[in-house]
Amino acid sequence: MKALSQKRRHPLAALALLVLGLMLTGGLYAVVTTVNEAKADTTTFTAQQVEEGEKLFVANCATCHGVGASGTDAGPSLAGVGAAAVDFQVGTGRMPMQMQGPQARQKPKQFNADQTRELSAYVATLGDGPALPEEQFIDGKGNAAAGGELFRVNCAMCHNAAAAGGALTRGKFAPALAGVSNSHMYSAMVTGPQNMPVFNDANISPEGKRDIITFLNTIENQGSPGGAKLGSLGPVSEGLFLWTAVMGVVIGFTIWLTSRPS
């Protein structure tokens, strides 16, 4: 015991403990990285899709995102963004970007469905990230009422209660959700594109996301049973529009009445 106590007081004891701590930390990091890579490689994509996706990436995306998608000053690293991020960004035409701006705008797609899937396959191998949504969660057969409640609590402050979109700060905006595919809606929720927060399964369960998608499908399909939408901007703007219209009629009638010859 005396010899052990003397060793603890040795000047190199602290250095030895530091080296041991660094080795332990490095070993744990290596294990975690290996697990992530194994998860990233365990996908439904084929080796050919990954190979073709890498070719497409080098030819069309590496200018901004760098060779190996490590990131540059013009674009972020794509390690760990997952296949779902590519499904949304490329599948809606937002990527490749047409020009730099506050946020990527939707435009005609540059890649077809097969090419988008190949790009997704390649990016999925770069690190663990959100995978493509399962068909059972994008079938639009969830609970629309429950989805409406989740949407109003989590999404309506940006996208509007009727999903008509809305303005944000510094030239940014939340887009209208009419015409967006179920797959892209799910991918957006799990990846958080642009200024949208990420809604992982701890925030909103896959079943909850399915309900939200069902709600959005429902309000899009039912149209506007109450009459003209007036942009679906809400009661304040709609009331202002009505007040302005009525006052215009009153003023016009007053001018007409007073201009009549006596």
> Would the annotation count 129 as a binding residue?
no
> Would the annotation count 192 as a binding residue?
no
> Would the annotation count 64 as a binding residue?
yes
Are 191 and 82 within 8 A, CB to CB? yes
HEC profile of the chain = CHHHHHHHCCCCHHHHHHHHHHHHHHHHHHHHHHHHHHHHHCCCCCHHHHHHHHHHHHHHCHHHHCHHHCCCCCCCCCCCCHHHHHHHHHHCCCCCCCCCCCCCCCCCCCCCHHHHHHHHHHHHCCCCCCCCCCHHHCCCCCCHHHHHHHHHHHCHHHHCCCCCCEECCCCCEECCCCCCCHHHHHHHHHHCCCCCCCCCCCCCCHHHHHHHHHHHHHHHHCCCCCCCCHHHCCHHHHHHHHHHHHHHHHHHHHHHHHCCCC
> Would the annotation count 65 as a binding residue?
yes
* Residues tagged in the binding site annotation: 61, 64-65, 155, 158-159
* Residues tagged in the binding site annotation for heme c: 61, 64-65, 155, 158-159
